[in-house]
Structure 1
Amino acid sequence: MTIHTRGFDLLREVDVRLSVELGRTDMKLKDVLALGEDSVVMLDRLTDELLDVHVNGTLIARGEIVAQGGRFGLRIVEMAGPQGAPDEGAA
């Protein structure tokens, strides 16, 4: 049992990439090439919907943006269950 615990402790120090997805959209290349300053791209997510939180491309949670000390932050609202489904016990 101590071998498994020790192995897990080693993994705790591995760097991973956490990213937050605001939303997505499909665009034609000509429309992307026409983007410039002050362009607005409409996304598929409403402002009151939770944002997807990914670790190395895998959905792990959903959350909401907060502002603190002049910076953006993320409040985790629910953890994702297996296969990225919302966890039934999350609130």
Structure 2
Amino acid sequence: MSLAINPLSLEELAEEMHQAVWRRVEPPLWWDSISDYVIADGVLGDLRGHMVAGHVEGIRIVRNAYVVGAADWPSALFDKEPSHLSGRAD
């Protein structure tokens, strides 16, 4: 289930994104709720953020996590440390 509402405005989210540091998920982890692979995770405001490859139409919130597309945030910053989700099986 995804919600179309946004607790942050697009401007606030953009500011959070510029400050967010993402951690790569290796190998990418399948998430049934969005029928896609999570390639990175981070924190956006008070919520977790999950990044998928490609483009995400608008901003989605699924199970208390923002879902964003890597193609939508090409200047995203990545930590050297892997995500805590890395190494998990599908």
Normalization by structure 1: what TM-score? 0.27
Higher gyration radius (CA): 1
- Structure number with greater CO (CA < 8 Å, separation at least 6) is 2
Bigger strand fraction: 2
Normalization by structure 2: what TM-score? 0.27
